[in-house]
A and B are shown apart, each in its own frame.
Chain A
């Protein structure tokens, strides 16, 4: 037994995914390495085994060679993957809306569980739903691929008009706009550092005063700063790539921020404005952020899917 050789083989086995014969493959590699060490170095020892192993290649590369040509999802099914995911997602969105409106949960065991959700929580749930649907459909096609038979699946003929408008806002990112954004952001950060909040009210001898209690002010101010930072980050990314995934990512992160903000418990404390309690402000804030980002996310995903389908059909 050579410790290095066994460690090497153990590592190969972590990467090797074969339906059968893994042990046989490892035994053959072991045999080859020992044979080569003996024949080319005169003696089989830990040192000569290490030399042969270093020539043999990394465990990942070795394992990969045995799996060449094997795919998780057959190339012929890739169009189906996108199409079926879109269909499942539309059903998922409809069920989420129904669950939210009817204030009930939906269970399709073991595939789906939509808990009773508020309108805002329903919006936060959508990105998760999309990722879940993609995974679920992916698993389905994985098993279809494993069958290795010519399975004929229904082809849902979704009519897709190639987009005449550019997929993303085609206006080039401009440096002066970025500088303005960064300057604006700097000013906002300055306000935050100066008053420990962005929500200030009143000008007079006492100067601007915080609108809400310090903790609530700080929490929502940080949320605004994070949202603006994500927006600027997305704009900077456009200097490097015009991918629609930037829009998807910024909207998804915005939605996540809204979800995190929503966790904060709010009392019905009055603010300096008589008609605006902290709770009302918080609810409106979360709903606006969640709605705009959910809408942005769905629009970006729809644009992306439409572009992909159009390019597939072309």
Chain B
């Protein structure tokens, strides 16, 4: 990936990753499980991105966490909160709106994807 693509991806990921994680925490899940789930659907998330993001979402009160011991191994489970769900709804509405605007703009200007 060249520098421009990398920069663009970072910029576009800002809101997208929050929505993705808010969707991934609909069911209780721990970090490694989320990484695996995302990989299965073709998206690779850096652990170094996921955990700090989860921490920020928790700080905002959008997810809550709880440590549990499974097979002698501690795991930190996350689940979305009601305010997290409200944020997710708003985020999805914005995302759909932006998609629609972008599609119309491309249509008006006759932009074709190569």
Q: Which residues of A contact B36 (CB under 8 A)?
A: 39
Interface residues of A (CB under 8 A from B): 21, 24-25, 27-29, 31-32, 34-36, 38-39, 56-57, 61-62, 65-66, 68
Please give me the residue from chain B that is nearest to A68 by CB atom. B52
Known: A35-B32, A36-B32, A39-B32. A29 touches B75 (CB 8 A): no
* Interface segment, one of B15-23, B43-51, B92-100, B105-113: B43-51
A21-B55, A28-B31, A35-B32 given; A57·B73 CB < 8 A: no
Query: Chain B interface mostly helix, strand, loop or mixed?
Result: helix
List chain A residues, Cβ under 8 A from B76: 24, 27-28, 31
Let me know if B55 and A56 touch, CB within 8 A.
no
Q: Which of B31, B32, B48 contacts A62 (CB 8 A)?
A: B48
B73 nearest CB across to chain A (Å): 6
- Please indicate the chain A residues that have their CB under 8 angstroms from the CB of B48 in the complex: 56-57, 61-62, 65
Interface of A is mostly: helix
Chain B, 41-68, CB within 8 A of any chain A CB? 47-49, 51-52, 55, 67
State the 5 A-B residue pairs at the shortest beta-carbon distance, nearest first. A35-B32, A65-B52, A66-B52, A65-B48, A28-B76
CB-nearest residue of chain A to B58: A21
* Residue tally, chain B, CB below 8 Å to A: 15
Residue of B47, B55, B76 most packed against chain A (CB within 10 A): B47
Residue-wise, chain B 68-104 has the 8 Å CB interface mask toward A (1 for contact) of: 0000011110000000000000000000000000000
- Pull 17 A–B residue pairs with CB atoms less than 8 Å apart, ordered by A: A21-B55, A27-B67, A28-B51, A28-B76, A29-B51, A31-B30, A31-B31, A31-B75, A32-B31, A32-B51, A34-B73, A39-B36, A61-B48, A62-B48, A65-B52, A66-B51, A66-B52
**When the two chains form the complex, which single residue of B31, B47, B55, B75 contacts A66, counting CB atoms closer than 8 Å?**
B55
